[in-house]
Amino acid sequence: MLRHFSGSLIFTVAALATAAAYGFFNLGGTGPALAALWICIVLGVLEVSLSFDNAVVNARTLKTMDPVWQQRFLTWGIIIAVFGMRIVFPLIIVAVAGSMSPMSALTMALNDPEQYERVLTGAHHGIMGFGGAFLMLVGLKFFFDADKEHHWIGIIERPLTKFADLEAVEIILVLAIAYGVSVSLPGDEGQGFFTAALFGVFAFFAVEWLGNILEAPEEEDEDAAPAAGNGATTAVAKAGLGAFLYLEVLDASFSFDGVIGAFALSNNLVIIALGLGIGAMFVRSLTVALVRQGTLSQFLYLEHGAFWAILALAGIMFGSVHVEIPEIVTGLIGAALIGLSLWSSVRHNRAHATA
């Protein structure tokens, strides 16, 4: 199990050393260096606690990918997760919100972090609308599934499968909730929130559509596989690419609340990127470990808990436009749901072993 986390541990040591050096030489001595170290550690733990459900859901998709694409998810994916989502994406948001170029946003982040924080948090409603809508669709798709065989909270999950045959039931429900939230906001804020939610819905189905296009066709029989030759290899590569893109967009949606919440501890772009990067690396390693250890097949209800946690996170993101919800609360809710599902899985395994 520990071998899956060797890269994360090496990355953590390098990131903490960088944070200490940055604090000492750029922020003014030993005190700032120790503060930078502490903030990075806290942000890393926070990111893992917020994203454990992300790891479980990622593992659900990753287990269908071949080992080559699994490794690419751990290498290329972490570059996108750390550099793209924790540095570039916030800069793009600030650039759009502040009507400036990305380079101007970077200059602001490095030289005027207070103003950078104000502009980024000013886009809070739009970020929560997009991420909440996307994650809500991810969660609802799992429960609105007519082929779903096992139910953790049967009194709720079993009736939901009966709505699976209704066209676009998830879209209707998400848009109805998003619209209800938007009309409770004043003027432009409500319009911006609902527009962002629409883009979240569009992003979800764009990724789904792309995944279906890239999905490898099933062979009609075993003899067809050798005859397919390079064509079969290309199809597998396309399928891996589709799943890879889906996982990256999913990871992006999970990272929104962590990026915004990080400003409660620091408004320094470098410190935030290093701290969240540590957490993102461990989430990646945890995802691969769950796949290669076969954890999801061992614990029947673990996926259910993760998808309930996703729905809870989506609800929190929508609700956060009215009430500030501490990140520790978000993390505890997700951890509690996953912990309960794990406990139920253990009880299920013991009952069947006894039988």
Query: Which segments of 215-301 does DSSP mark as H helices, in order?
Result: 224-228, 230-261, 269-292, 295-298
Question: Is residue 56 helix, strand or coil?
Answer: helix
Phi-psi region for residue 90, left (φ > 0), alpha (ψ -120 to 50) or beta? alpha
User: Would you state the pLDDT for residue 221?
Assistant: 44
Global model pTM greater than 0.85: no
pLDDT at 12: 92
Q: Supply the pLDDT for residue 178.
A: 95
pLDDT on residue 91: 85
Contacts 24+ apart (CB under 8 A), 181-187: 181/129, 181/318, 181/321, 182/129, 184/322, 185/125, 185/321, 185/322
pLDDT of residue 47: 81
Do 211 and 37 contact (CB within 8 A), yes or no?
Answer: no
Q: Label residue 101 exposed, middle or buried (CB < 10 Å: 0-12, 13-18, 19+).
A: exposed
SS3 334: helix
Nearest to 276 by CA among 76, 11, 40: 40
Which segments of the chain have a pLDDT < 50? 216-228
pLDDT at 218: 46
* Helix, coil or strand: residue 162: helix
